[in-house]
Amino acid sequence: MVEPARLLIAVLVVIPATLLTAACGNSSHSSSLAPQTSPTIVAPTSTTPTTTVTTLAPVAAAPTTATTVAMNYGQQYLADVAPVNTALAQLGANPTITSAGAQAAGQQAVNTARLLLTQTWPSADGPDVHSLGVEFETISADIASGNFPKFRDDVTTLDADANVVRAELGLAAIK
């Protein structure tokens, strides 16, 4: 014979569990919520109900990556000075300072100065890049004024300043 207290515990544990299983849609039990009868009563072996807890693992956030593009200042410099170098090379060894080619070189010198003076450069190289930009403006003024001797002297200074900047940017010197 089963003690009344154990029978009550069995009824309180088994019937709600059966109803819960039926309500959750377990296919081995009826899907009806009507009480189910069983001719056999099973006494529990323990008075402590078992609870299953499902713990979800936290989802790790996707790793963030910052893309840093290293600026190649040497390539920036070469791109900036290419047009003026081409224009000055077309003048030849003994240019006529008032020629259309000289005027075009003067305009390219101004464009190059603007690029050099408005772009970002490594802080240690900024003063030398600034000096070079000023030299480009100076040779443009020499061409505009038709002062060939001053133009020649200023081109020599420009080449020296360009070699300082090129060395700082890891580029080979010009001759």
Q: Residue 78 falls within a domain, yes or no?
A: yes
Range(s) of the domain holding residue 40:
1-49
Same domain, 126 and 90: yes
Q: Residue 174 falls within a domain, yes or no?
A: no
Same domain, 77 and 13: no
Same domain, 16 and 77: no
Same domain, 12 and 80: no
pLDDT of residue 41: 55
pLDDT of residue 59: 59
Q: Which two tokens stand for residue 32?
A: 């009806």
Same domain, 44 and 94: no
pLDDT of residue 18: 44
Q: What is the pLDDT of residues 125-163, one digit of tens each?
A: 999 999 999 999 999 999 999 998 998 899 999 999 999
Task: State the Cα–Cα distance between residues 175 and 103, nearest whole angstrom.
Answer: 24
pLDDT of residue 26: 47
Task: State the Cα–Cα distance between residues 75 and 117, nearest whole angstrom.
Answer: 16
Q: Which two tokens stand for residue 4?
A: 């009344």
Q: Residue 65 falls within a domain, yes or no?
A: no
pLDDT of residue 158: 94
Q: Residue 57 falls within a domain, yes or no?
A: no
Which regions in the chain score pLDDT beneath 50? 4-35, 38, 68
pLDDT of residue 43: 53
Domain count for the chain, please give it: 2
